[in-house]
Amino acid sequence: MKRTNWLMLLLITTSILQSGCQHNHTHHIRITGAFALYPLTVKWAEEYKKAHPNVEFDISAGGAGKGLTDVLAGADDLGMFSRELTPEEAKKGIWKIAVAKDAVLPTINARNPLFKLIQKRGLTKTDFQRIFLSGKSLAWDSILDISSSIPIHVYIRSDASGAAETWAKYLGVKQENLKGVGIYGDPGLADAVIKDIYGVGFNNAIYIYDLQTGKKREGIEVIPIDINNNGKIDAEELFYDDFNQVLQAISDGRYPSPPARPLYFISKGKPQDPDLIAFLKWVLTYGQSFVKSAGYVPLPEETIQSSLQTFNQP
């Protein structure tokens, strides 16, 4: 009788322990890729963990190219991706889902002697093509049609980058056609322009503006785009002083696309893991409430509903 009671107690204890282990099971979600999406992904992870403490995130930025490579290799669950997939990439079975919007902006050192003139006149797409595609030593007299020997020092991305590919697409080329001094990463490119009084470059908007103040980081300015090519920045083209104005211009289409673009999560094939699917659905629903405060543009409702429907498709 005593032996029977002891066995019953052992079975009950084992059952409780197993139940506890299952309840406390930690699920890891590994995400890498585009610098553009990194700050927002970190914010999403922080908020998601508040309601799902058993989910752990491993998030790192290394450029959209790294996100794609790691996902294809099975090293990560999701890639942060900031450009469109090429047909060749899509053929490899990459699945994508839009999660937010942002934009790439052309930048210049705030102390550039000609910035006030550039700010009033803006630069056209043709001007940017001359700057970023020639590969020659240029001075501003060749762009602004003024007498000036002030040089233009061009900085671009050295890594496989969604920002660079998006900026190149705006100019009608591919990333490998951009000419300049290669710098790794979004933060590095912004710092290179800040440190060089003659520097110009491009950055994802989140790396130009201070989220707390809405103003541009010290030492860096945005080169306004003369969208209608009339040689000046009109009122409808002037929205760069405040980050919220920039986000609104991206949202309503006043800032051109490209270099405005959607941001994606990608995976190798459609996700099957229930925990990963739950996180992605949260991103598309409750997670959208954190997008604007994190410095991005939320997705339109029709895009969200279309994305959610993909989980119900075979």
Query: Is residue 266 domain-shared with residue 143, that is, in the same domain?
Result: no
In-domain check, residue 32: yes
CATH number of the domain that residue 281 is part of: 3.40.190.10
pLDDT at 25: 75
pLDDT at 22: 42
- CA distance linking residue 184 with residue 126, whole number of Å: 26
Query: Is residue 112 domain-shared with residue 227, that is, in the same domain?
Result: yes
Going by their DSSP bridges, the two strands 55-61 and 27-33 should be labelled as parallel
* Domain count along the chain: 2
pLDDT at 27: 92
In-domain check, residue 14: no
Query: Is residue 289 domain-shared with residue 204, that is, in the same domain?
Result: no
Query: Is residue 72 domain-shared with residue 172, that is, in the same domain?
Result: no
Instruction: Quickly list DSSP for 228-285.
Output: T-SSS--GGG---SSHHHHHHHHHHT-S-TTTEEEEEEEEESS---HHHHHHHHHHHT
In-domain check, residue 20: no
Query: Is residue 113 domain-shared with residue 248, that is, in the same domain?
Result: yes
Show the tokens assigned to 1: 């009788």
pLDDT at 145: 86
Query: Is residue 235 domain-shared with residue 288, that is, in the same domain?
Result: no
Query: Is residue 36 domain-shared with residue 72, that is, in the same domain?
Result: yes
Query: Is residue 303 domain-shared with residue 190, that is, in the same domain?
Result: no
Structural domain for 297, as ranges? 27-102+262-311
pLDDT at 24: 58
Report the DSSP beta bridge partners of residue 29.
57
Query: Is residue 168 domain-shared with residue 204, that is, in the same domain?
Result: yes
For 134-145, what is each residue's pLDDT tens digit? Answer: 999 999 999 998
Angle ∠(297,221,205) on CA atoms, nearest 5: 20
The segments of the chain whose pLDDT lies below 50 read 1-23
Classify burial at 275, counting beta carbons within 10 Å of its beta carbon; exposed 0-12, middle 13-18, buried 19 or more: middle
Query: Is residue 72 domain-shared with residue 147, that is, in the same domain?
Result: no
